[in-house]
Structure 1
Amino acid sequence: MDETAKIRTAVVGAGKMGAIHAKVYSQLPDSELVGVVDTNPERAKQLAEKYGCAAYADCADILDNVDAVTIATPTVTHLQLAKVFLRHRIPVLIEKPLAASAREGRKIVSMARRFDTVVAVGHSERCNPVVQAMKRLNIEPKFIEAQRVSPYPFRSTDIGVVLDIMIHDIDIILSLAASKIRRVDAVGVGVIEGAEDICNARIAFDNGCIANITASRLALKTERRVRVFSRQAYLSVDYLKKSGIVIKTAPNTNVVEWIKQQREKGDFDWTSVNWPDLLHIEQLQIDDKEPVRLQQEAFLRAVKDRSFTPEVSAEEGLAALRCAQKILDAVKRHKWD
């Protein structure tokens, strides 16, 4: 592909996520948004008019006019739509999760390899500036605790909370742990739709790392937090507030030595000590960048130059899906009585 030419992009799905992708594509210098596809013609028309492109009701109508496509439709349609584009060697960015099951996800990965075509997965939380800042620390986690809860979203009702929102933290945890999964235990319950609305999972990795994840779409408020324990540092971050603290081991060795000295004295008044005042605490250095924009920039860079890879590849998306399937299987196995 000509390095100077703009990439002709399109979005399939004119819902909330489709609208976000269309907006970003319309703003990127490397992108020329040429179309929006939706089975609801009026919805496609409204979004297309907003960003100055054409509206379509059928993916077949854009195959000769696009270089890259985002699929932002219900999860159960991902495999079917991916087939349409991959058979024509058109790169796709598929909103998370990659597919409705690990079996369908494997088919997409297989097609990406067969047709030698870029497939990215829209795990936009991986592009959250907080996660990017965590990655730059290059630590080796020993324990990860993630909590992602929110009020009922009235969307993605075709899937449960594991594939809807826990999948974000699954993907991040797999990238941080960088090890094979040894064991998964989980419990979940469905309250509203039948599929699980609340779930807690515990994942043990071969390298000894343990992850504990909680996801709920029945909470009264939205929280997205993660804590990471490692030998190098302790991290506590808030995805929503885009903030976090880091307590590194090396700068605090003098604190440990001071505590030992006071213990040896034997008569020190510990009630007078304010623990946070003793510690060397750093604020996580976080960039203020839009996750979907970073995600699409990486996707388009990989489309132009195959030496680059998307932020989350099809293989990584499949790994997250396989882990999610293990969690769902564990939920089914769990005996309440």
Structure 2
Amino acid sequence: MDDIQVGLVGYGPSGQFFHGPLVHATPGLRLAAVVTRNPERAAEVEHKYGAAAVPDAESLFPRCDLVVVASPNRTHVPLATEALASGLPVVVDKPLAATAEEATRLVALAKERNLLLTVFQNRRWDGDFLTLRALLEEGGLGRVARFESRFERWRPQPKGGWRESGGAQEVGGLLYDLGSHLVDQALQLFGPVRTVYAESDARREGVGSDDDTFVALTHDGGVRSHLWMSAVTGQLGPRFRVLGSTGAYVKYGLDVQEDRLRAGATPDQPGFGDEPEDRWGLIGTDDAARPLPTAPGDYLAFYRGVESALRDGGPPPVDPADVVEALKVIEAARLSSLQGMLTHLD
């Protein structure tokens, strides 16, 4: 069968290090065109992928069967709306939208047009998350009481750009960036949330959006999720610390796939998602802990799911309805941090 022609809107870090390589490595997909006005990036996509570099989305749509939106966050909704209205299925990088209301309208439009809409929540295929999910499904920690999850960095000097310097109109800051992953993972593991409490600050001079945020969730089932996202953490905490009635799982360090993509590794090469043993997490208690092998990470699973959904009409790899629920939590967290109080979800 002919390859599905993919058009990528945006070739910043997300397009360059994630979507471009992953689309290129997925059987049945072909990166056909990329929106970029940067001459160096245009030359790269033409040389590396044989893709056409075009100046805008209007030039892209006629060249593709699928649109991937990886442009600045404030453009996600208008570009996805335009693509769906043009009869094209869409992958949108996270966050899908600034509000659950905007996201709900996109979901309704896709349903009305009978088109695929999905969101690039690639951290569902981190090796440590896959490991933890399997562990919980088999009851390996007994009854879970608290889930701690962190994306922390030490970047005392801002890098600049819209993610840090822009205000709410840019949909920037860590709550929308890293928080989109942390909240999504918590909901995937422990289900709906009934209360949200958050503390959110801009710690560094010249930063216009949050760079140090803590979110506490109480799930309907009683589990409490504590989520940290920060650019000002001089000593990093564990990526996961999960406390159960029969023991705990503690895991340090981030999934290996992003670093390997940024280093130029191809995601379909053998061992791409494998983590070395010295980075495995520990399961058990202080007096009886053992290493737990980390499952291979598999970001390619997302685009394999996209290809399968388009070919066979099956479900998308990420249901956008899940993302709507996560955005409700993020909005509640913003409100909580502004008001300094607990917020309740209906």
TM interval, short-chain normalised? 0.7 to 0.9
Question: CA offsets, 1:75-111, max 9 Å, x none?
Answer: 1000011012111332221111111222322222221
CA–CA separation in structure 2 for the residues paired with 1:40 and 1:223: 38
Question: Which residue of structure 1 aligns with residue 315 of structure 2?
Answer: 308
Matched, 1:10 2:7: yes
Quick one: which of 187, 198, 201 aligns to 1:186? 198
Matched, 1:288 2:301: no
The residue matched to 2:249 in structure 1 has which SS? Answer: strand
The residue matched to 1:22 in structure 2 has which SS? Answer: helix
Matched, 1:135 2:141: no
CA–CA separation in structure 1 for the residues paired with 2:133 and 2:216: 22
Quick one: which of 1, 16, 21 aligns to 1:19? 16
Distance 1:240 1:33, change over 3 A: same
Question: CA offsets, 1:151-200, max 9 Å, x none?
Answer: 3463523412111112211100011112x321111111112323221111
Farther off after superposition, 114-123 or 215-224: 215-224
CA–CA separation in structure 1 for the residues paired with 2:244 and 2:235: 29
The residue matched to 1:9 in structure 2 has which SS? Answer: strand
Farther off after superposition, 193-202 or 164-173: 193-202
**Structure 1: gaps of 5 or more residues:** 249-274
CA–CA separation in structure 1 for the residues paired with 2:69 and 2:213: 27
Matched, 1:322 2:333: no
The residue matched to 1:163 in structure 2 has which SS? Answer: coil
Structure 2 counterparts to residues 34-53 of structure 1, below 5 A = 34-40=32-38, 43-53=41-51
Question: CA offsets, 1:262-312, max 9 Å, x none?
Answer: xxxxxxxxxxxxx53xx2x44333333342x222222222222222331x2
CA–CA separation in structure 1 for the residues paired with 2:246 and 2:83: 45
TM-score calculated relative to the size of structure 2: 0.79
Q: What amino acid is the match of 2:151?
A: R
Question: Which residue of structure 2 aligns with residue 297 of structure 1?
Answer: 304
Q: What amino acid is the match of 2:216?
A: R
CA–CA separation in structure 1 for the residues paired with 2:68 and 2:95: 13
For the 8 Å contact 1:236–1:244, the answer to whether it is kept is: yes
Q: What amino acid is the match of 2:304?
A: E
CA–CA separation in structure 1 for the residues paired with 2:97 and 2:327: 8
Quick one: which of 219, 228, 246 aligns to 2:242? 228
TM-score calculated relative to the size of structure 1: 0.81
Backbone CA RMSD of aligned residues: 2.3
Question: Which residue of structure 2 aligns with residue 94 of structure 1?
Answer: 92
For the 8 Å contact 2:128–2:294, the answer to whether it is kept is: yes
Question: Which residue of structure 2 aligns with residue 332 of structure 1?
Answer: 338
For the 8 Å contact 1:149–1:224, the answer to whether it is kept is: no
CA–CA separation in structure 2 for the residues paired with 1:213 and 1:334: 17
CA–CA separation in structure 2 for the residues paired with 1:224 and 1:31: 37
Distance 1:306 1:282, change over 3 A: farther
**Structure 2: gaps of 5 or more residues:** 165-169, 256-274, 342-346
CA–CA separation in structure 2 for the residues paired with 1:332 and 1:101: 16
The residue matched to 1:64 in structure 2 has which SS? Answer: helix
* Identity fraction in percent: 24
Q: What amino acid is the match of 2:319?
A: S
For the 8 Å contact 2:117–2:316, the answer to whether it is kept is: no
Question: Which residue of structure 1 aligns with residue 228 of structure 2?
Answer: 214
Q: What amino acid is the match of 1:294?
A: A
Based on CA coordinates, which of the two structures has the bigger radius of gyration?
Answer: 1
For the 8 Å contact 1:14–1:38, the answer to whether it is kept is: yes
Quick one: which of 187, 191, 194 aligns to 1:174? 187
For the 8 Å contact 2:238–2:250, the answer to whether it is kept is: no
CA–CA separation in structure 2 for the residues paired with 1:96 and 1:134: 22
Matched, 1:147 2:133: no
Matched, 1:244 2:281: yes
CA–CA separation in structure 2 for the residues paired with 1:57 and 1:81: 14
Could you list the runs of 4 or more consecutive aligned residues of structure 1 that deviate by over 6 angstroms after TM superposition? none
